[in-house]
Amino acid sequence: MRLEVGDILIKDVQFGPKTEVKDGVLFVNKEELAKVAGDDDRIESVEVFLAKPGEETRIIPVKDVIEPRVKVSGDGGVFPGYISGVDTVGEGRTHVLKGAAVVTTGRIVGFQEGIIDMSGPGAKYTPFSKTLNIVVKVEPIQGLHQHEHEAVVRVAGFRAAAYLGEAGKDVEPDEVKVYETKPILEQAKEFPDLPKVVYVYMLQTQGLLHDTYVYGVDAKKIIPTLIYPTEAMDGAIVSGNCVSACDKNPTYVHQNSPVIHELYERHGKDINFLGCVITNENVYLADKERSSNMTAKLVEFLGADAAIVSEEGFGNPDADLVMNCNKLEKKGIKTVLITDEYAGQDGASQSLADSTPLGNAVVTAGNANEVITLPPMKTVIGYPEVADTIAGGTDGSLKPDGSITAEIQVITGATNELGFSYLTAKGY
């Protein structure tokens, strides 16, 4: 598959009478966007706000972050299974409003949701303090079950992002990048002297609001399978997660996976990037065994010399991570793991819930239990009181002056396990 991604660089976002892009500025018709996002009988109200880098603004609780995009050519459309049909995406041309993001918020769905601060110390931990955010506050009608509440807010965000993306359909991009993965036999022969690498893309699928969707299908219902990397880049994978904000993959991160982008960058230079195996993170032992068996078999079937495995979440999924590592290594496939740590506020506890001697090449995205104090903000979009109940916060995290003391677990993207974050390490 060959995908052209045309980046339209957005320098500012403003409300205006017409939704359009002019001279790098995204103008948004607030009322029209609210109407599109709220096109569901289960939604009581929708409000739209703007949050820009450097402003004293806090968004809480954050449900999802989505990049506005539009298909210009090729099969399918944006967010297949939701906004468009289920045609395979990942080829043709897609235009991106680069620098803009839709952020969904509203009454809390699950306790594992997050915070985005647009300035202050918290802004240093989240990549979404750097984006021009169109915040869509969705309030469902009373009495919805949590799972229905989550679905209503999720799809409202997709409608909003698709609506905004249309503004870039006829705009000439500032930059066009081309990504291509060929059929496997052709791909394997292209660079015969380079090590063949497969990306094992673990998706959070534990249920109870810990869900990810592929072409609209709940990924806990699938067995591991192959996808072209460009399918992920083109919106085939979307988030339905209310898992800990620090290491969840919002839809924006699936659209912009730094692992996939880096593998494409290295392709043909020092590796031969064969493609992706997507696999789920299960609750029960038999399901973990089945999925890790299938994952190792698929990677071996592709003839890979090495694999990169990324996790989403922590705790129970650590077992899936370790099983994937063990089974790949035992097949002679060199394996690198990407995860984060829950090592306690002092950093002295065991970082993962499971381990293996074969896991001897691990990249960490940081310790989510580190404590931070977020100062009060002039503007709060959402409900600040949930700081006491979201994962990483405790009763009393929200102070009378509006400041919040909590673990960095509360910050969206702080320890993202695809590396879509800002934490780094220093050697001494």
pLDDT, tens only, 246-299: 999 999 999 999 999 999 999 999 999 999 999 999 999 999 999 999 999 999
Place of tokens 């078999």: 297
pLDDT at 428 over 60: no
Tell me what percent of the residues of the chain surpass a pLDDT of 90: 95
For position 173, what pLDDT does the model report? 98
Residue-range domain boundaries for the chain:
2-410
Question: With bands split at pLDDT 50, 70 and 90, how would you rate the model's confidence at 94?
Answer: very high
For position 243, what pLDDT does the model report? 83
How far is residue 112's CA from residue 247's CA, in Å, rounded to a whole number? 11
Question: Does the active-site annotation cover 242?
Answer: yes
pLDDT, tens only, 171-182: 999 999 999 999
pLDDT at 230 over 70: yes
Catalytic residue among 242, 246, 276, 325: 242
pLDDT, tens only, 355-406: 999 999 999 999 999 999 999 999 999 999 999 999 999 999 999 999 999 9
How far is residue 192's CA from residue 202's CA, in Å, rounded to a whole number? 27
Question: With bands split at pLDDT 50, 70 and 90, how would you rate the model's confidence at 149?
Answer: very high
pLDDT, tens only, 105-134: 999 888 889 999 999 999 999 999 999 999
For position 101, what pLDDT does the model report? 98
Listed residue (225, 214, 226) closest to 79, CA to CA: 214
Residue-averaged pLDDT of the chain: 96
